[in-house]
Amino acid sequence: MRKLMTVTAFSALLAVFAVNVTMADKEEDKKKEKKPMSIHDVMEKGFKGGKSLYSKIKSTKKKSTKEEQEKFLSMLKDMAKSKPPMGDEKSWKKFTTAMIKPMEKIVKGEDVDKNKKALTKAGSCAKCHKAHRPKKKRD
Ligand code: HEC
């Protein structure tokens, strides 16, 4: 009987422990969600290709939804928080802020066409890559 009691008590303890672990896992998940998207992911998911979020949003002919605009803005903000693999912080801040500012206006619906042009100018792939994207060795 005594043995049974011990086992029961032990199981109860285990159960409490298990709940704690699950809760800790959930906390971890929350942290993961808040982690900013890497520059690599922003490039792949937001910039790359003619059908990218960026090319849709900057176009004065195509229409993008508010949701897409907000998503892209948050990607730009994430990108601004990251450290580029090359180039100095000041220049990075300049490039990213130059995109975030018109993007914020687009989300708000202020001077949309004008700000799309500003976004396009600031979002020059070549200019920013020249300053901040390390060249790949090709041989
Ligand atoms: C504000 C600066 C900036 C602008 C604007 C920009 N890029 Fe990039 N891009 C980067 C940086 C920095 C990297 C290197 C990321 C790394 O190595 O972590 C990069 C890398 C990439 C990569 C390789 C992804 C990888 O990490 O392997 C692709 C593809 C890319 N950019 C596409 C584009 C295209 C297309 C445009 C224009 C429509 C563009 N980028 C505009 C900064 C920029």
Q: Which atom, in ligand 1's list, is nearest to the CA of 96?
A: 1
CB 32 within 8 A of CB 38: no
As given in the structure block, the two tokens for residue 20 are 């704690």
Entry pTM: 0.80
Length of the chain: 139
CB 124 within 8 A of CB 132: no
How far does residue 46's CA lie from ligand 1's centre (Å)?
Answer: 10
pLDDT in tens, 102-117: 999 999 999 999 999 9
Strand runs (DSSP E) across the chain, as ranges? none
pLDDT in tens, 20-51: 555 666 666 655 567 899 999 999 999 999 99
* Residue nearest to ligand 1 atom 18, measured at CA: 40
| Neighbouring C-beta atoms of residue 46, cutoff 10 Å | 21
